[in-house]
Structure 1
Amino acid sequence: MSEKRLKVTQIKSKFGRLESHRQCLAGLGIRRMHHTVTVADTPSIRGMIAKVSYLLKIEEV
């Protein structure tokens, strides 16, 4: 059985945000506005997504 994946897209700017929030975006592999990445659905990834959820659009793949 394959692992679950999440499709994460940045929909708001990272400028003017806390440094830790910017680092979460970098940790997810998101580089710019409207950039979409597919990541594994793990507890650590879920934690990063929860921290910056107001900047993101999340879809299950």
Structure 2
Amino acid sequence: MATIKIKLVKSPIGKPETHRKTIKALGLRKIGQVVEMNDTPQIRGMIHQVDYMVEVID
């Protein structure tokens, strides 16, 4: 299965609770942290919800 790398580029402080929980569910805690996840529709949906705080790295 293909994987994608997700990087947290903006702080979730002051953002809606659902977005903060999505960032936590993606495994991101610190700005600049990169996690590698399986490329599934569920993960893509989570990224779409918080796309202003994360960056997808190729």
TM-score, with normalisation over the residues of structure 2?
0.95
Larger Rg: 1
Which consecutive unaligned segments of at least 5 residues does structure 2 have?
Answer: none
**Which one of the candidate residues 16, 19, 31 is aligned to 2:17?**
19
Number of aligned residue pairs: 58
2:45 to 44, 47, 56: 47
Letter paired with 1:34:
G
Q: Which stretches in structure 1 are left out of the alignment for 5+ residues?
A: none
More helix by share: 1
Give every structure 1 segment of 4 or more consecutive aligned residues whose post-TM-superposition deviation is greater than 3 Å: none
Give % identity: 36
1:20 positional shift? 0.3
SS of 1:7's equivalent in the other structure is strand
Provide Cα deviations, 1:2-21, integer angstroms capped at 9, x if missing partner: x1101000001110000000
